[in-house]
Amino acid sequence: MSRTVYVNGAYLPEDAAQVSIFDRGFLMADGVYEVTTVIDGKLIDFDGHLARLERSLGELDIANPMDRDQWLEVHRELVARNGLELGMIYLQVTRGAPGDRDFLFPDPETTPPTVVLFTQSNPALVDSPKAQKGMKVITIDDIRWGRRDIKTVQLLYPSMGKMMAIRQGADDAWMVQDGEVTEGTSNNAYIIRDGRIVTRALSNDILHGITRAAVLRFAREAQMPVEERSFTVDEAKAADEAFVTSASTFVMPVVAIDGVALGDGTPGPLARRLREIYIEESRKAAI
Ligand code: PMP
């Protein structure tokens, strides 16, 4: 069945949706995106994702094309039109299509941003076989640009990193800068030692994960101590547990780093507990 997608104000069958070849998202990766999870047909952390969208657009001097209620309406309309129960909504805003290729930003008066949204169904989102087994990660150099706090569509290196992991029999890669873990290719990275959750502090070096903010809040409410500081690869390999967070994986246990098993090589109890709490609380707060 063909999906209904949203392009610049219109709801269209996916085969009929089009974006210009001059779009700066296509030519220059000049655009930002968000991914909002849908559970029970409802949006998880919608306002967090919108706040980050607003910030990403602002950092790139792209005007936000819609207000909160308009964004919410498009999200809900796509959920309804596609009968989406479990999955996600992908949203992308680019600097638009000036009709030529030029390094200079086009005049926003004559070149409006391009807006695309589509749904992706994922029936295994909550009862995930991967979460039962846990993920293996490798470590790779973090050679991305210096503004990883902006959620741009330049995802080539993270994509290559994931392929490097798969080719080595692992599931994902953690990126490393000056010996310290920044984040996963598409998630924030955590270790647990003696019951303390450690994750890198927010800066331009990492994406400010919406799931990260929620999980740290739930952890503190559950009296689990949290340390927001950098950790080395060696410290990670010696940890009791590890996990990653993202909108599309929630809390996902990590059971091995560069072939070194953590604990007994199965998902740790605190990571599993945090996953349960996150899913339960997010379901309650979904809109
Ligand atoms: N870091 C990176 C590099 C990511 O791509 C993502 C997911 N888009 C995250 C962290 C997690 O962010 P969120 O919890 O908002 O999905």
Task: Using the mean position of ligand 1's atoms as its centre, give its distance from the Cα of residue 1 in Å.
Answer: 29
pLDDT at 1: 66
**Residue 36, exposed/middle/buried by CB under 10 A (0-12, 13-18, 19+)?**
buried
Report the residue among 120, 172, 246, 275 best suited for mutation to probe ligand 1: largest number of ligand atoms under 8 A from its CB. 246
> What domains can you pick out in the chain, each with its CATH number?
4-121 (3.30.470.10), 129-285 (3.20.10.10)
pLDDT values of the chain reduced to their tens digit, one per residue, 287 residues: 699 999 999 999 999 999 999 999 999 999 999 999 999 999 999 999 999 999 999 999 999 999 999 999 999 999 999 999 999 999 999 999 999 999 999 999 999 999 999 999 999 999 999 999 999 999 999 999 999 999 999 999 999 999 999 999 999 999 999 999 999 999 999 999 999 999 999 999 999 999 999 999 999 999 999 999 999 999 999 999 999 999 999 999 999 999 999 999 999 999 999 999 999 999 999 99
Across the strands, what pairs with 137?
172, 257
What pLDDT does residue 150 have? 98
Q: Examine the residue annotation and report whether 151 is marked as an active-site residue of this protein.
A: yes
Q: What is the pLDDT at residue 69?
A: 97
Name the β-bridge partners of 34.
91
Ligand 1 centroid to 276 CA: how many Å? Answer: 19
Residue closest via CA to ligand 1's atom 7 equals 186
SS3 15: helix
Neighbours of 9 (CB within 10 A): 10
Query: What pTM was computed for the model?
Result: 0.97
Q: Are 29 and 153 in contact (CB under 8 A)?
A: yes
Please state, in angstroms and rounded to a whole number, the distance separating the CA atoms of residues 124 and 70.
29
Which residue's CA is the closest to the ligand 1 atom numbered 1?
A: 187
Can you tell me the distance from the alpha carbon of 153 to that of 18, in angstroms, rounded to the nearest whole number?
A: 18
Instruction: Choose the residue to mutate in 188, 217, 245 for probing ligand 1, maximizing ligand atoms within 8 Å of C-beta.
Output: 188
